[in-house]
Amino acid sequence: MNNVLAAQLKIIVTGTRGAGKSAFIRSINEILPGCQVNTLPDGSGDFAYYYGGIPIPETDETLYLVEPPSTEPHGRSLWPLTDASGLVYLVDSTASLTFHEAQATLNMLDTYAPFPVVVAANKQDYNVPYDTAYGGYPMGQHIPWTADGIHRALDLPSGMTVMPCVATDRESVKRVLIELLYEIIATMDGMK
C-alpha cells in the first residue's frame, strides 16, 4: 500500500467526535479502505489515520480522503497533512453542544489552513420524534440545524462554505467534495 500520508492528492476529513467522518469516507470510497499507523513526531506514541480513496479517471493517481484520529489528547492533529489539497470539516448538525469546539477549530483553520476548507453540516436526515414526557422538547439528539443556521450560530467567515450533508449518502458526499474541488481549483487559478 502507498504511504497515504505522503500521497500527492489528499483531502483531510475531520470534524467533531462522532460527526460522521468515517461514514463520509466510506460512502465515496472506491479502494480498499484502511488505517495507517504513524508515530508522533516526538516518538511518544502511535496513532492511526483512517482513509479511503477515489481513483482519478485516465490517470494512475488516487485522491485520498484521510481522517486524522480522534483519540489524541490534544484534539485532532493535522500533522503531517499540511501538504493536503483541502479539508472537509464535519459538524454534527444535531449536536449543538459540539458547536463551540467546531467554531474554535474553524476559526483556527480560517486563519492558518494553507488550503480551502468546506464545512459539512452533517446528519441532515436525522429526525427524532419529540418526547412529550419532557414538555415537547426533544431529548438527547435534536433535529438538525440547517447549514445556514450553523453558519450563523458559529459566526463563521462569510467566505466559508457550509453545505448540508448526509454522510451515509454517496450523492450528498459527492456534492460536498465537488464544492471543495471547485474551491481548490479557484485557489490555483488565483495563484497563476
Ligand X SMILES: Nc1nc2c(ncn2[C@@H]2O[C@H](COP(=O)(O)OP(=O)(O)OP(=O)(O)O)[C@@H](O)[C@H]2O)c(=O)[nH]1
- The minimum distance between CB 120 and Mg ion, in angstroms, equals 14
- Residue 7 C-beta: closest distance to ligand X, Å: 20
Considering CB distances under 5 to 8 angstroms, the limit depending on partner class, which of Mg ion, ligand X, none binds residue 122?
A: ligand X
Whichever of 50 and 115 has its CB closer to Mg ion, that residue is 50
CB-based contact 37:91 (threshold 8 Å): no
Our finding on whether 16 is near Mg ion (CB under 5 A) is no
Q: Considering the complex, what minimum distance in angstroms separates the CB of residue 191 from ligand X?
A: 32
**Count of residues interacting with Mg ion (CB under 5 A):** 2
Cβ(115)–Cβ(100) below 8 Å: no
Closest approach of ligand X to the CB of residue 85, in Å: 21
Length of the chain: 192
Q: SS3 of 1, please?
A: coil
Q: Which of residues 21-60 bind Mg ion (CB under 5 A)?
A: 21-22
CA-based radius of gyration for the chain: 17
Where does residue 114 rank: exposed (0-12), middle (13-18), buried (19+ CB within 10 A)? exposed
Q: Which is nearer to ligand X, 102 or 157 (CB)?
A: 102
Per CB under 6 A, residues contacting ligand X are 17-23, 70, 122-123, 125-126, 166-168
Q: Which secondary structure element, helix H or strand E, spans residue 174, and what is its range?
A: helix 170-191
CB count within 10 Å of CB 99 equals 18
